[in-house]
Amino acid sequence: NVINMRPPFEGCGDYNAYTQLDFSDPTGLDPTGLQCTFPQVTFLEILTAHHPGALFTMLTRPSDDWESSVWRWKEPLSPASFYTRFRQCNLPYLPLGLDHNVSLTQIYDYHTAAVRTYFARRTELRFFEGDIRINATGVGLAQALGLADPAAVAARCWRRSCSLG
């Protein structure tokens, strides 16, 4: 939609949340010509302009833990293909000349720093960041969403489904 100058979520349904917005077309057959895009990064300014009252969330963990998780993925999302996706995306916050000497943890760290900086400069926007390893993150997220009885919601809904290590 954004590439075609339409509101970001036009025609996408009337949902309360949109997550995992990235797109990858390794075939190169996408009519836009994009091989990859992460709208939540590349088009963050457009998303926040169209949805200034939305709660933007960033759930994190230490970058080494994240990279370990990526290395456990199976095809088609192997670390090599994942790394290639990042390179094809030409993400705006990565240093120019990204080469194979940049690790996945560095990419992750660049990303989280860029998002933090963006929202720190735009204090009128709603932003929540939490570490997925910490149970209190579920409570904080439920509070940020304005849910009644955040502790009960977190106890019922905030469960880890992957292991670290």
162 band by pLDDT with thresholds 50, 70 and 90: very low
**Side-chain half-sphere CA neighbours of 86 within 13 A:** 24
Give per-residue pLDDT as tens, 101-151.
Answer: 667 788 888 889 989 999 999 999 999 999 988 888 888 988 998 888 888
- Does pTM top 0.85 for this prediction? no
Among the listed residues 5, 42, 6, the one whose alpha carbon sits nearest the alpha carbon of residue 118: 42
% of the chain with per-residue pLDDT over 90: 18
> Would you state the pLDDT for residue 165?
37
- A 10 A CB-CB count for 158 gives 19
User: Is the pLDDT higher at 34 or at 165?
Assistant: 34
What is the mean predicted confidence (pLDDT) over 19-44? 67
Give per-residue pLDDT as tens, 65-91.
Answer: 988 887 776 655 555 566 666 666 666
